[in-house]
Amino acid sequence: MENNHNTEHLSEAHDEGHIAEAHHPSYGINILVWIGLLSLTSITVAVAGINLGALALTVALVIALVKSMFVVNFFMHVKFDNKIIKLFIGVCMVIFVVVLILTFFDLTFRY
């Protein structure tokens, strides 16, 4: 009985050494995400044919944001990563948006 306890303890100690647990979504989930990406791409093409004026760019960017979130969360497996990885990605995205905003302000007030 004590031998069984020792193997459980070794198994628990071995599990603590793993950085992250690998998680692979099923083929069904990947196919659904792929169909969603195809649908959003066709919606983007359809919206490009409609004259929305200044709203066309906003609609295209929102659709592109949704598509990129699908890719990042499912195909890059960020959805299944640790919270610290998600925090780092969020901080990087905030810094990227701030740099873009500062660039656009510079271009706007330059001339």
Query: What confidence tens digit (pLDDT) does each residue in 32-86 have?
Result: 988 999 999 999 999 888 888 888 888 888 999 899 888 888 777 777 777 888 8
Do 92 and 109 lie in one domain? The reply is yes
Do 39 and 54 lie in one domain? The reply is yes
Per-residue pLDDT band for 28 (boundaries 50, 70, 90) equals confident
Q: In degrees rounded to 5, what are phi and psi of residue 54?
A: -70, -20
Domain that holds residue 70: 26-80
Do 91 and 103 lie in one domain? The reply is yes
pLDDT attached to residue 11: 47
- Token readout for 67 is 């598509």
Do 96 and 75 lie in one domain? The reply is no
CA distances from 24 to 27, 49, 86, 98 (A): 9, 38, 17, 33
pLDDT attached to residue 39: 94
Do 74 and 98 lie in one domain? The reply is no
Do 30 and 76 lie in one domain? The reply is yes
> Span 14-24, mean pLDDT?
55
The answer to whether position 105 is within a domain reads: yes
Instruction: Say how far apart CA 89 and CA 76 lie, in whole Å.
Output: 12
The answer to whether position 15 is within a domain reads: no
pLDDT attached to residue 42: 93
